[in-house]
Amino acid sequence: MRRPLLAGNWKMHTNVLEAYLLVAEIGKCSVGLNDRDVLLAPPYTALHSVANVLHDSDILVASQNVCWEEKGAFTGEISPTMVKAAGGTAAIIGHSERRQIFHEDDEMINKRLLGALKFGLMPLFCIGETLEEREAEKTFAVLEGQIRRGLAGVSPEDMKKTVVAYEPVWAIGTGKTASKEQAQEVHAFIRNLLAEMYEKAIADSVRILYGGSVKPDNVDELMAQADIDGALVGGAALDPESFCRIINFT
């Protein structure tokens, strides 16, 4: 079966010292969680120190984005090999804040995803519809487009290493969570689409995370859904007590 994955995206929060204090707290409450994966995505400046603190732990470290090139004239970017050298093994790609604020399109996200895979990082590939798109009943069409374009050229072998994160834009940082039924419906749609694009066995092995105002009081019911394999958490990942409760979902 699919191993649950609980991921915390710290976004542009925490300086090096704050990151150190936060990871120390999370490290304590993750001891003994052998049946699930926990992942932290600190800002780039704290990636190395967070990975160092976690050296003897099973907690994974991810970057919040990644370039497709290994090195070169790409001011402001971080390369997959830099992430790995800093202790990271994964990268968030296509987060809605990258799409909306920084205008990253599906083609660029696809390049980032292929770059991450080429250099051995596990991509957390984010997709999600806006409120306007949901209200216009375009949710499935929007997601299908994001998935087909974002995964263009991803081989079946690489698909097995990829994590998908469904994050409805209207639920990110808003306190509005998709209901468990809404989330499950979309997760099942994503899995069926992956089965069509690859094969059922691959679709059944891919972890699909839900993201959008996941909190201690809704994590259990979300995680109980058949096609929800984990959570990508923003705001609540910055509060050790909340994140500890989330990773200890029952």
Tell me, rounded to whole angstroms, the distance of Cα 180 from its chain centroid: 18
Q: Which are the contacts of 42, defined by CB distance < 8 A and separation ≥ 6? A: 10, 14, 19, 23, 50, 61
Q: Which are the contacts of 74, defined by CB distance < 8 A and separation ≥ 6? A: 67
**In this chain, which stretch among 21-29, 107-115, 141-149, 227-235 interacts with ligand PEP, using CB under 6 A?**
227-235
Q: Per the residue annotation, which of 97, 104, 129, 167 is the catalytic one?
A: 167
Measured distance CA(90)–CA(71) in Å, rounded: 18
Comparing CB distances to ligand PEP, the nearer of 88 and 119 is 88
**In this chain, which stretch among 52-60, 104-112, 200-208, 209-217 interacts with ligand PEP, using CB under 6 A?**
209-217
Q: Does the footprint of ligand PEP cover residue 41 (CB under 6 A)?
A: no
Residue 38 φ/ψ, nearest 5 degrees: -120, 140
Q: Sign (positive/negative) of CA torsion 82, 208, 183, 197?
A: positive
Q: Which of 80, 150, 211, 230 binds ligand PEP (CB under 6 A)?
A: 211
x/- letters, 3..32, toward ligand PEP (CB under 6 A): ------x-----------------------
**Least spacing, CB of residue 17 vs ligand PEP, in Å:** 23
Measured distance CA(59)–CA(35) in Å, rounded: 12
Q: Per the residue annotation, which of 95, 104, 129, 133 is the catalytic one?
A: 95
Residues in contact with ligand PEP by the rule CB under 6 A: 9, 167, 172-173, 211-214, 232-236
